Structure 1
């Protein structure tokens, strides 16, 4: 095994959305080595694999990030039909990496893991460094005393098997095992901003108050003195605007005893601040904190700042900067790509976020666990509000350890993402299928933890499968409901009366809809006569999903007392529990296919309703072989009218009513072309479809 040199791969540390760097000529701040190449891997449990002299020559060579389930997770099975659930490997695997190290006096060294599912045991030079339980948050260890000069051996045992000690225990998704996010070796000075703050950045900023043309910004800087003697230093924090100008500054002289840590609290006042106003204007400042010794910077951290407040008003509505702000959008499951699982690039995450932004969302629900840092960073930039939650999904274990593990995962989630202005609410769980003392104790612990760590943000819980007002739905500041009227039960239109009845019964409780959706295969087309599909069946026509969402948004959009409305879901994704639609092991309720190549018609329905960018889209474009001559042309648009023509004939002007224009036509035998056009500010938007009708098939 060829060792990797930390010096060869060093670059600036990006953490919590901030870049750690100092100006040229100053002392170094924390630096990182990305541990990417040179890993050896085996997908089995091996005795003694943590030992430096263990022979791993027969193991595979991999790069990290890496998952060991990329190729074996395409088999699905539906219990509802008596099938066994899909099978993919859930168990232990080992990673080993040899790296060179040249220690420097006055430095501390940390191993950073961006995510390892679900349990990771870390060994360095045969020494047990620590065990992390929970697959979706980052974690770190101080390995200064375990690192040697010269060759070092890092060994990691990862296990994605179900374990009642930690969450999640269940879920409608695959749990991809492995070191599926980055691994880094971080070097920091021995007087430094604390890197062991639940793997957070050690710098936390928030809008403490906002009124009368000014904002007070609270900064909390965690400093650790790992020197052998006390240290005198100054903590300097600046707020820098988008033009690079310093607009506020705070200086705090501090003395810290050897081996101690301290939180330095600072308040910075901004005059006439530019607000982070969601999609309308997501203005971002930068906060930079430095530790100065004798006037010279030795360590620094940065974070983006969006000046804004969030909350709830007396009507149960979500508020942004004190004003009601409607949250509507989609659920996003953990970002994956076919054949790669969760090994996605920043560019692929950016693509997902742009697709949702182009649809016109104001918010996204990140289901059902902490997502990669890039998701939060892009949401900040795009002005998309987020709900983000711990992986308490469906099932729980009544043990103290399980509860303590979820509390730990909540602490990690908040420490690692609370600087993001896009994070609007903390989610404490999803669809617990049981109530009772243990469930209530668990949710109470998660609620109290979130409020203690971040009292300024509301909490929420996604409820399903028990009575709407069950005790487990009463812990969070808000409650939202996963409701699938028109797919799993009754009719789509029933969601409106259900919401009205619930609101009347709980008028002072902020309620929302956290999931609603229907499956759709772009290979399945059925027009004009639609039959309601069987939810777990093989026939999921796209037109049913479109009609489902038309009805749902007309019902939900008319009820402003709902604090949230989230579609299930943005993108199709892998699920071993499913064997339905046009292929197994996929949840096809997405508005966009898993490969991101096809936007289903329902996507454009929401774009017509939500986006201010002029748009035009003819539906049923994949239903190319018509069965009858008399058909309806349906066009989604956010313009007042469209012009339509068939086979180059005369144009007909059709009004757009509630974002849809409908035109009856008679197809000719053979190929037919339908054109649509609308004028916007002197330019034309156009769309067309080709349909074939055969009189004698």
Structure 2
């Protein structure tokens, strides 16, 4: 017992054993500590909650990430609670005046005010980009300081998005971190970005010419001559390029320093085929920040489509909303995000449109490593407020999107927004303002916009370099086969316009089935899984034969919360996903795209979940690769088919009363593959 007491005393003296979130003892390097535990929460505005001595003993203990809309944000009715939520914790920071201390929020929806020791540390307006506040002057050299955070997800006329066909989950739904640096450091306040931006100036087979700009900050009271070293390493961590210089920075000043680097015999980042990554580390005094580097070129040709490293590379991808789970909303751990991207890779997609706002840092990292080409956008969704404040907010969120993600090689295009419903002067002005930010902050990448609901040539579609069209033929518009006719007409009328299909698809319930389905009512309660698959088949056939479409993005990869919806088999869910919101069930359409897009051997009997049949015969349809597929029912062989267009069909297969075991087999990639279902015929 005495030994245990001594150990506890030692921990207390060292500052490690605390009842609240704490930071590791500082060294000479930058430290980052995730502040996941030790928080208290109260839903509803509370006068005085920012004060240091406020009594929060009755508040609920929570861990981050957290949202208060985990349940009501996905149960339908459009009445999920949009309010102010308060979070409080006690923070221990060692190091005193010799260190700089920042609070970093990876995402808090929608408007956030932070108080440290009762004093206002900062305000952030926007629910999806990260942000940091310098709290050095607000924390004591030792001991604890109370931190209070007010997060407000009520609709705000000056903050984008105003609303959307998705639930705006309130709260600290991403990680919060304590960042501690030396007083001479890489700038931490550049719109939440890393303070390091690498620009590829030229790329050939023999060399890559780079410019790395590091923002150098001197938070000491005297002018300093500060050494700056930039190092490029390959995937094996070998140094392949170095630049060294120094810069004089006045007290409290920040100076950008640009260094030229050359990487010989560059290994290109080549999408899903070879997503090769380098890294760039900027060393400023005792501080260091690393960012990813992928060497590649992007271009879009109006006739040949998307070009990666000079070669046509048609983008076949999916749209994603924020990673989420039932009962947790968007407050999910990293493992859930990793699982989502593992499913995207399994599908065989080579691109992701991260709709309709900036996504989590981990998603961009995963896209880099998996080779997924990314379209990412600011949250200009539906409507725009005609005010200078709203435009300024959109501009700030555009700056944040670029500064925080410019080093990700996966990011190919910045999105100006999605589906402005009215082509008003205000909407056009705010899109033009976002375009100007993107052009100024990143002149190398292309911009795009997801257009819908108005004329194809409306002014809204003319601000970005590229245009995406949300076209739901077979769902909101008649006949999925019309997608190709529409695209041909637009291309013929304006052959220099570079166009994509930014959204297409249909709803599907894995609990509802109909053989040879008729088109359902989109807003109705009957969304048979088979109909989504038929729309997917017709849509992809139209897309893959038209190389001028530089990309296509299925809406959507996963079912997701949209609390205002009441359709399909349950309210509060947009059921157009290829995978259910719990990530348990891959719908039939998932396997259709996988058969067309991936290198995996695919063998999938469609309508497997339609387990109770009332007809004496049924068609058996299988999504497959290219190898011959054999069918048997209850062990009786019924022939072999060579899949045409990745589909094999046996029409009019007899079902006897009771259970029928249906099995298909194929031999591909050196091994046998089997899929089996049981359909029970009831008279």
> For residues 318 and 353 of structure 1, what CA distance do their matches in structure 2 show?
22
The answer as to 2:110 corresponding to 1:118 is: yes
Q: Which residue of 1 aligns with 2:183?
A: 190
The answer as to 2:215 corresponding to 1:228 is: no
Q: Give the deviation of 1:245 after TM superposition.
A: 1.2
- May I ask how many residue pairs the two structures share in their alignment? 666
Aligned residues of 1:11 and 1:32 also touching (Cα < 8 A): no
Give deviations 1:385-418, integer Å, cap 9, x for gaps: 1100011100110101001101100111111111
The answer as to 2:160 corresponding to 1:167 is: yes
For the structure 1 residues 261 and 69, does the alpha-carbon distance in structure 2 shift closer, same or farther, using more than 3 Å as the test? Answer: same
Aligned residues of 1:337 and 1:594 also touching (Cα < 8 A): yes
Q: Which residue of 2 aligns with 1:142?
A: 134
Q: Give the deviation of 1:233 after TM superposition.
A: 2.5
TM-score (norm 1): 0.93
The answer as to 2:614 corresponding to 1:627 is: yes
Q: What secondary structure does 1:329 align onto?
A: strand
Aligned residues of 1:207 and 1:307 also touching (Cα < 8 A): yes
Q: Give the deviation of 1:256 after TM superposition.
A: 1.8
Q: Which residue of 1 aligns with 2:486?
A: 498
Q: Which residue of 1 aligns with 2:85?
A: 93
For the structure 1 residues 682 and 115, does the alpha-carbon distance in structure 2 shift closer, same or farther, using more than 3 Å as the test? Answer: closer
Q: Which residue of 1 aligns with 2:6?
A: none
Q: Which residue of 1 aligns with 2:96?
A: 104
For the structure 1 residues 538 and 312, does the alpha-carbon distance in structure 2 shift closer, same or farther, using more than 3 Å as the test? Answer: same
Q: What secondary structure does 2:420 align onto?
A: coil
The answer as to 2:509 corresponding to 1:521 is: yes
Give deviations 1:178-218, integer Å, cap 9, x for gaps: 11111122111111000001111111123221124211122
Q: Which residue of 1 aligns with 2:293?
A: 305
Q: Which residue of 2 aligns with 1:23?
A: none
The answer as to 2:412 corresponding to 1:419 is: no
Q: What secondary structure does 2:136 align onto?
A: coil
Q: Give the deviation of 1:5 after TM superposition.
A: 7.9
Aligned residues of 1:193 and 1:300 also touching (Cα < 8 A): yes
Aligned residues of 2:232 and 2:241 also touching (Cα < 8 A): yes
The 5 A counterparts of 1:265-344 are 265-292=258-285, 298-313=286-301, 315=303, 317-344=305-332
Q: Which residue of 2 aligns with 1:392?
A: 380
TM-score (norm 2): 0.95
Q: Which residue of 2 aligns with 1:10?
A: 24
Q: Which residue of 1 aligns with 2:64?
A: 64
User: In terms of mean alpha carbon deviation, does 626-635 or 563-572 score higher?
Assistant: 626-635
Q: What secondary structure does 1:279 align onto?
A: helix
> For residues 652 and 507 of structure 1, what CA distance do their matches in structure 2 show?
47
Q: 2:562 aligns with which of 575, 599, 606?
A: 575
Give deviations 1:35-80, integer Å, cap 9, x for gaps: 2222221101111111112222222121222111112223324xxx
Aligned residues of 1:190 and 1:225 also touching (Cα < 8 A): yes
Q: Give the deviation of 1:323 after TM superposition.
A: 2.1
Give deviations 1:603-637, integer Å, cap 9, x for gaps: 00001111112211111101111121221111111
> For residues 567 and 315 of structure 1, what CA distance do their matches in structure 2 show?
22
Q: Which residue of 1 aligns with 2:646?
A: 659
> For residues 314 and 604 of structure 1, what CA distance do their matches in structure 2 show?
30
Aligned residues of 1:5 and 1:99 also touching (Cα < 8 A): no
Aligned residues of 1:241 and 1:284 also touching (Cα < 8 A): yes
Q: Which residue of 2 aligns with 1:20?
A: none
> For residues 149 and 18 of structure 2, what CA distance do their matches in structure 1 show?
17
Q: 2:530 aligns with which of 523, 543, 547?
A: 543
The answer as to 2:177 corresponding to 1:177 is: no
Aligned residues of 1:337 and 1:344 also touching (Cα < 8 A): yes
Gaps of 5+ in 2: 1-14
Root-mean-square deviation over aligned CA pairs: 1.7
Q: What secondary structure does 2:64 align onto?
A: coil
Q: Give the deviation of 1:4 after TM superposition.
A: 4.6
> For residues 595 and 236 of structure 2, what CA distance do their matches in structure 1 show?
35
Q: 1:439 aligns with which of 422, 427, 445?
A: 427
Q: 1:560 aligns with which of 531, 547, 555?
A: 547
Q: Give the deviation of 1:253 after TM superposition.
A: 2.3
Q: 2:452 aligns with which of 464, 471, 486?
A: 464
Give deviations 1:19-41, integer Å, cap 9, x for gaps: xxxxxxxx622112322222221
Q: Which residue of 2 aligns with 1:377?
A: 365
Aligned residues of 1:639 and 1:678 also touching (Cα < 8 A): no
Give deviations 1:265-299, integer Å, cap 9, x for gaps: 0121111111000011001112122124xxxxx11
Aligned residues of 2:74 and 2:167 also touching (Cα < 8 A): no
For the structure 1 residues 139 and 8, does the alpha-carbon distance in structure 2 shift closer, same or farther, using more than 3 Å as the test? Answer: closer
Q: What secondary structure does 1:353 align onto?
A: helix
Structure 1 stretches of at least 4 aligned residues deviating more than 6 Å after TM superposition: none
> For residues 547 and 569 of structure 1, what CA distance do their matches in structure 2 show?
16
